């Protein structure tokens, strides 16, 4: 007699259905179990690179070492070319700029874009946590820009994540002081027009005095020019940040921003302006034009980030964000370990 297969266990609740503390616990477990288990090593930086602490010298390897790292004192003493070796900086200050504008409240998968942004912040926070490391944030919301000073420790990181989860959404009345222990304070009076992405980037530059890591989490839909070759309003500010800091741009998107399903007549609402428009999705030509325009828009964002010198990490609400982060870190590690000549040859 054929035995029936056992029924599958019911799926757990989505992240949006959990309480803030349960969501924080799930995010922490995901980062520590999945990312921490896959990204071995003491220094698991999202953007690995050279350090500044001297660690001795070794013989020069033609074609692999940069001439600017030559140790001329040892070279003159031994008559053999030597290069300086450095250790990675052990103290890192990370500044986060998190876009919590109304366009980030959209989502058709288990997570919406804002919750995926919180997951990305959790990954950055737990991966860069360490003795002496500090984490600060600027949150760009509908009520203004909220600043969280750079501090270390798990309590500070959990307070920041809780504040992001509890942040008021469009149309909600914000609390006076925010969640207890969050430490954030508004830098723009409530009721005034929220700052644009360019202003928020300039605010990060004013507080990020030491060289470090700047992580920008957004959908990058703010002030995109109609001409793909033109510069965005936030491009000059991002260029200035990338000239001094390592910059990681985390692009958050949803599948419905890439293509329209055939579901008949729907009403589309712009979350930023509130404008509405009825669209007949049964038209295959319309769906194709939408997909082409969405792909062109995302390619425009990639080109802008590349011109600014920022590393690009694309996350989608319908994909495994932990796996995407792991792939990005491994790609950055291979890029950092490759000889300069090989990297330039591959880029060409």
Quick: pLDDT tens for 76-92: 988 889 888 765 555 78
Chain segment 167-214, per-residue pLDDT in tens? 777 666 554 444 434 455 444 444 445 568 899 999 999 999 888 899
For the chain, give percent helix, strand, coil, nearest 5: 40, 20, 40
35 domain residue, yes or no: no
Q: What is the CA radius of gyration of the chain?
A: 23
CA distance 262 to 246: 42
Which of 70, 87, 104 lies at the terminal end of a domain, its last residue?
A: 87
Same domain assignment for residues 190 and 308:
yes
Instruction: Kindly state whether residues 237 and 261 are assigned to the same domain.
Output: yes
103 and 194 part of one domain: yes
Q: Which of the listed residues 42, 65, 87 is the one where a domain comes to its end?
A: 87
pLDDT at position 191 is 42
For residues 61 and 144, state if they share a domain.
no
For the ranges 29-38, 64-73, 201-210, 238-247, the lowest mean pLDDT is seen at 29-38
211-227 residue pLDDT tens = 889 999 999 987 788 88
Give the pLDDT confidence score for residue 188 in this predicted structure: 43
Between these two residues, 25 and 315, which has the higher pLDDT value?
Answer: 315
Strands 144-151 and 185-186: antiparallel
Q: Are residues 148 and 182 in the same domain?
A: yes
Integer Cα distance of 287 and 282 in angstroms: 8
Does 330 fall in a domain? no
Residue 185 CA from chain centroid, whole number:
22
How many other CB atoms are found less than 10 A from the CB of residue 245?
A: 22
Q: Are residues 79 and 216 in the same domain?
A: no
In order, the DSSP letters of 230-265 are: SPPTTHHHHHHHHHHSEEEEEEEE-GGGT-----SE
Question: Is-above-0.75 flag for pTM?
Answer: no
Same domain, 190 and 277: yes
Q: How confident is the model at residue 308 (pLDDT cuts 50, 70, 90)?
A: very high
pLDDT at residue 49 in the model: 52
Please give the Cα distance from 191 to 209 (Å, whole number).
Answer: 30
Summarised one tens digit per residue, pLDDT across range 97-150 is: 999 888 888 888 888 899 999 999 998 888 887 777 899 999 988 778 899 999
Provide the number of structural domains found in the chain.
Answer: 2
**256-307 pLDDT tens trace:** 999 988 888 988 888 777 889 898 989 999 999 999 999 999 999 999 999 9
Across residues 32-38, what is the average pLDDT?
A: 65
- Over 80: is that where the pLDDT of 12 sits? no
Are residues 149 and 180 part of one domain? yes
Range of the domain at 66: 53-87
Instruction: Check residue 214 and give its pLDDT.
Output: 93
The mean pLDDT value of the chain amounts to: 78
Domain membership flag for residue 66: yes
Query: pLDDT: is 301 or 330 the higher one?
Result: 301
Q: What is the CATH number of the domain that holds 200?
A: 3.40.50.410
Contact 121, 98 (CB under 8 A): yes
Same domain, 73 and 212: no
Name the nearest CA neighbour of 188 among 141, 124, 235, 149.
141
Q: What percent of the chain clears pLDDT 90, i.e. is strictly above it?
A: 29
Q: Which two tokens stand for residue 172?
A: 């909600």
209 & 145 share domain: yes
Question: pLDDT class for 326, splitting at 50, 70, 90?
Answer: confident
Whether residue 280 is contained in a domain is answered as yes
Domain assignment present for residue 80? The answer is yes
Look at residue 327 and tell me if it is in a domain. Answer: no
Please check whether residue 257 lies inside any domain of the structure: yes
Residue 334 has pLDDT above 60, yes or no: yes
Give domain status of residue 63, yes or no: yes
What value, to the nearest 5°, has the Cα angle with vertex 49 and ends 154 and 66? 165
DSSP string, 111-167: S-HHHHHHHHHHHHHHHH--TT-EEEEEEEETTEEEEEEEE-SHHHHHHHHHHHHH-
Q: Tell me whether strands 93-99 and 213-218 are parallel, antiparallel or unpaired.
A: parallel
Question: Is residue 156 domain-shared with residue 291, that is, in the same domain?
Answer: yes
**Residue position matching structure tokens 């914000």:** 174
Taking 80 as the threshold, does the pLDDT of residue 14 lie above it?
A: no
Place of tokens 């589309």: 268
pLDDT of residue 8: 45
Report pLDDT for 343: 47
Please tell me whether residues 65 and 171 are part of one structural domain: no
């Amino acid at each position: 007699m054929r035995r029936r297969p056992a029924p599958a266990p019911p799926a757990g609740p989505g992240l949006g259905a959990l309480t803030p503390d349960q969501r924080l616990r799930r995010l922490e477990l995901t980062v520590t179990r999945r990312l921490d288990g896959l990204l071995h090593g003491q220094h698991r930086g999202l953007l690995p690179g050279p350090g500044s602490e001297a660690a001795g010298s070794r013989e020069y390897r033609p074609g692999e070492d940069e001439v600017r790292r030559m140790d001329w004192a040892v070279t003159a003493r031994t008559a053999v070319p030597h290069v300086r070796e450095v250790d990675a900086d052990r103290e890192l200050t990370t500044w986060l700029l998190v876009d919590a504008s109304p366009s980030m409240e959209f989502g058709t998968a288990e997570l919406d874009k804002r919750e995926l942004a919180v997951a990305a912040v959790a990954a950055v926070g737990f991966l860069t946590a360490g003795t002496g490391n500090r984490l600060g944030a600027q949150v760009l919301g509908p009520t203004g820009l909220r600043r969280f000073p750079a501090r270390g420790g798990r309590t500070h990181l959990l307070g920041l994540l809780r504040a992001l989860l509890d942040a008021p959404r469009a149309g909600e009345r914000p609390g006076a002081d925010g969640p207890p222990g969050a430490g954030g304070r508004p830098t723009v009076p409530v009721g005034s027009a929220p700052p644009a992405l360019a202003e928020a980037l300039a605010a990060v530059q004013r507080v990020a005095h030491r060289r470090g890591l700047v992580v920008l989490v957004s959908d990058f839909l703010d002030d995109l020019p109609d001409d793909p070759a033109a510069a965005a309003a936030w491009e000059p500010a991002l260029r200035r940040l990338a000239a001094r800091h390592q910059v990681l741009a985390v692009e958050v998107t949803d599948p419905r921003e890439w293509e329209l399903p055939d579901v008949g007549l729907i009403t589309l609402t712009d979350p930023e302006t509130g404008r509405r428009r009825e669209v007949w999705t049964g038209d295959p030509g319309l769906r194709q034009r939408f997909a082409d325009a969405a792909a062109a828009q995302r390619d425009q964002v990639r080109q802008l980030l590349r011109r600014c010198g920022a590393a690009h990490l694309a996350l989608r609400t319908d994909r495994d964000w932990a796996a995407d982060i792991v792939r990005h870190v491994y790609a950055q590690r291979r890029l950092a370990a490759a000889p300069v000549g090989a990297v330039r040859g591959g880029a060409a």
